[in-house]
Structure 1
Amino acid sequence: MNQSNPDTWASPRHRSAVTWVVAIATIAIIFDGYDLVVYGTILPTLMNDPSQLGEISAQHAGALGSYALIGVMVGALTAGAVGDYLGRRRMMLINIVWFSLGMGLAAMSTSVTMFGLLRFFTGIGVGGLVATAGAMVAEFAPPGKRNLYNAIVYSGVPAGGVLASLLAIVLHDTIGWRGLFWIGALPIVILLPLALVKLPESPQWLVARGHEDKVGFAALATRRYAWGTALLGLMSFSGLLLTYGLNTWLPKIMEDAGFNAKGSLSFLLVLNGGAILGGLIASKVADGIGPQRVVATTFGLAALALILLTLGFPLSVLLASVAVAGVGTIGTQVLIYGFVSNYYSTSARGAGVAWCAGFGRLGGIFGPLIGGALISAGISSQVAFSVFAGIAVLGGIVTFFVPRARAARPEVTTAYSTVQVS
């Protein structure tokens, strides 16, 4: 690859491989986002109609939202532990199947306990996908396009959120919450066959095997990465707390503020739509100036937008603020995944992304719980938004202290591109 031009493709075969990797990974992550948001869209139904699964209080609802995130954490950390040994392709295929089965089984739940257990099971597959996709894209894309391609893939999260919001608005009365969950099981039918045929293994991973004594999580504990890993984990913790907290509770908060059911869902649609557009624009900027300053800025935008939601502005201003909040919360998490995917060498990349996704999911677990606790306590929407704004400020502060990644080792050439042996 011509090192003077980081956007250069090594060959037509390289470009084709990247296209397929990005397309398959994006579709997989779209269903991750669908899973994230579809629970928030059906939550009012489950809480208002005990005949569905049983009595669900606000605290129980928050706990149910967290079960899936505990599963995501387990799945991400498991993928990090074995993904740098087994390879990216195999992990993607396993988790596409796992996630799809979980969604289908959850659609057949007959009790709150069964639903919670299957949400946990589904989360394991989601976590494995999230942890593997970023590592795979980073190892295929040209250096000058890595943040952009990571953003395209992880914009699948808010795109899935938009899909879930639209389908809930249009189809909920027709197919019910179970039908919405069956839609989430479609990857095993539409994506798995495509991935089996078109998804290649990462050349960088193939080349890197045997070149490092420290592989996977062991590499994260070295002096080279330990401090940066801790801070990146805290950034992801903040980003995912905001992402899951708002996606779970925004419809309920806006419903309590006086909007009807479909009106409250429209805020969820705007939140995720803003994240897609803003995240892609911000990632292009990050490819030019680096992701660190961009992530700090978008965290700041989140805090500002969430404060604006407390000030009683007209609906048009509220919707604009929610869109900006989407950029600063979900969009920021997209940027964080790109930051992390390019921070580590090949031997540690899968574990690094898994750590970010896994530890960050602790924030995702606390997000729905915090929202449930605030609503159960009768706290106003203004206070709830202020709490989330404070978390965004803390995330932005942490971002400034992440050290620069040390220079990677020399590169060798593969059939697709020039890659690093470490």
Structure 2
Amino acid sequence: MSDITPPSVARPSAATPLTILLCFIVALLEGMDIQSAGIAGPGIAAHFGLDKVQLGWVFSASILGLLPGAFGGGWLADRIGRKRVLTVAVVLFGLFSLLTTQSWNLDSLLLARFMTGLGLGAALPNLIALTSESAGNDRRATAVSLMYCGVPLGGALASLAGMFATPERWQLVFHLGGWAPLLVAPLLYRYLPESAAYQQQAADRRRPSIVQGLFRAGQAVPTLLLWLSCFFTLLVVYLLLNWLPSLLIGQGFSRPQAGSVQLLLNLGMTLGSLLAGVLLDRWRPALLVTLVYAGILVALAALGSLEGFAGMLLAGFAAGFFVLAAQLVLYALAPQFYPASVRATGVGSAVAVGRLGSIGGPLLAGQMLASGSGTAGLMSLAAPGVVVAAVGIILLLRHRPAPE
């Protein structure tokens, strides 16, 4: 791991606050688009006459696009620059979010959601790489957390829009998530600083291949453990993001009540993202991981067993807090295992593998609900995956590169 940039070289630059701010704005927009389908789900189902299995495919279409988007976006960023790829990705997911509102049948809807996910996926590894590379080694997790808290905040904005949108006006959240990125893209092109770490290695024509970069001597085990934890963690995250509103309505809660729980879920995610990054830079990481994943298990049990509205609000907040803290820890750690020449590729590969879990979560939930399984059964099914993810990340920490 000798080519990992040591602290003496990796100093925060003067552009760090601007980089974090602009990446935070993009993360905010990404959070709006990622959760838009789940929030508009009841309206989409009514408009197109979809059953639960078909609605699960709608949820998973954008997530399916995230997988090649994340991997391809990271690979391209290591070759043509983080800023360029991020700007194009923002235009892509904004444009196809708007085109979602013009869908005329299930096939066109699935295509629009897939292309939206392609742009969303390409954006995320670049957001992580840019913010991580702009900060010093002792503040990288904090920088990533400040950026990434924009994702749940964007989800909260989408939840607010969903509370004011009737099923007949399901297009509202997609208009909001489409026009805003198209307005922000020119600002990125004009003001976002390119990563200094990328610029330093861009002149080197001897870039390692993907296999060499991710599986070279001493790196294969960390890469595989990172993939394992990302897969199971994101399975739980996207199960909650996509199905929670429909589950709550199915349990007898009103649409405003379901929107309130979803809003608390996103606010919990915001706080979890912020605190996890700060604590990761200061606490023993293994202790933090143990507490976070134990919290996920407790929150899932509460969502599956509580019946009162007040208790469900608290459970939604706790679930959001812990699942996003877990995801943030993974995203903050990922850049530390790769040199600048393959950093975006490494982060993108972890995000892409995590998206496989994101795809499986909503589809599995749709199949279980269609077969008559209740919310409690669905939440208990996610518990073993949480345990596997926790074990994977604790083992991963043993391979964490020590600062030179």
Shared topology, TM-score over 0.5?
yes
In the TM superposition, residue 88 of structure 1 has moved relative to its aligned partner by: 0.7
Partner residue of 1:367 out of 347, 361, 386 = 361
8 Å Cα contact 1:22/1:137 also seen in 2? yes
5+ residue gaps, structure 1:
411-422
Q: Deviations over 1:265-320 (max 9, x none)?
A: 21111111111112211211101135454234312210111112333364333322
One-letter amino acid matched to 1:25: C
Give the direction of change, closer, same or farther, for the CA distance of 1:299–1:103 in structure 2 (3 Å limit): same
Give the direction of change, closer, same or farther, for the CA distance of 1:190–1:282 in structure 2 (3 Å limit): same
2:160 corresponds to 1:162: no
Query: Higher mean Cα deviation, 207-216 or 251-260?
Result: 207-216
One-letter amino acid matched to 2:199: L
Q: Deviations over 1:212-243 (max 9, x none)?
A: 65255531021231111111111111121111
Distance 2:156 2:243 in 1: 15
In the TM superposition, residue 190 of structure 1 has moved relative to its aligned partner by: 2.5
One-letter amino acid matched to 2:237: T
Partner residue of 2:31 out of 27, 30, 33 = 33
- After TM superposition, the score normalised by the length of structure 1 is 0.89
5 Å-filtered alignment, 1:20-419, equals: 20-47=18-45, 49=46, 52=47, 54-170=48-164, 172-173=165-166, 176-209=169-202, 210=204, 213-214=207-208, 216=210, 218-289=212-283, 291-312=285-306, 314-402=308-396, 403-406=398-401
Q: Deviations over 1:191-229 (max 9, x none)?
A: 112111111111111112318652555310212311111
One-letter amino acid matched to 1:40: G
User: Between Structure 1 and Structure 2, which shows a larger proportion of helix residues?
Assistant: 2
8 Å Cα contact 2:96/2:113 also seen in 1? yes
8 Å Cα contact 1:224/1:406 also seen in 2? no
In the TM superposition, residue 80 of structure 1 has moved relative to its aligned partner by: 2.4
8 Å Cα contact 1:217/1:352 also seen in 2? no
Give the direction of change, closer, same or farther, for the CA distance of 1:181–1:399 in structure 2 (3 Å limit): same
5+ residue gaps, structure 2:
none
Query: Higher mean Cα deviation, 298-307 or 118-127?
Result: 298-307
One-letter amino acid matched to 2:326: T
8 Å Cα contact 1:64/1:116 also seen in 2? yes
In the TM superposition, residue 407 of structure 1 has moved relative to its aligned partner by: 5.1
Distance 2:336 2:9 in 1: 17
RMSD: 2.3
Q: Which runs of 4+ in 1 moved over 6 A?
A: none
In the TM superposition, residue 406 of structure 1 has moved relative to its aligned partner by: 3.6
What is the aligned residue count? 398
Distance 1:229 1:3 in 2: 22
SS in 1 for 2:253: coil
Distance 1:375 1:395 in 2: 24
Distance 2:136 2:209 in 1: 23
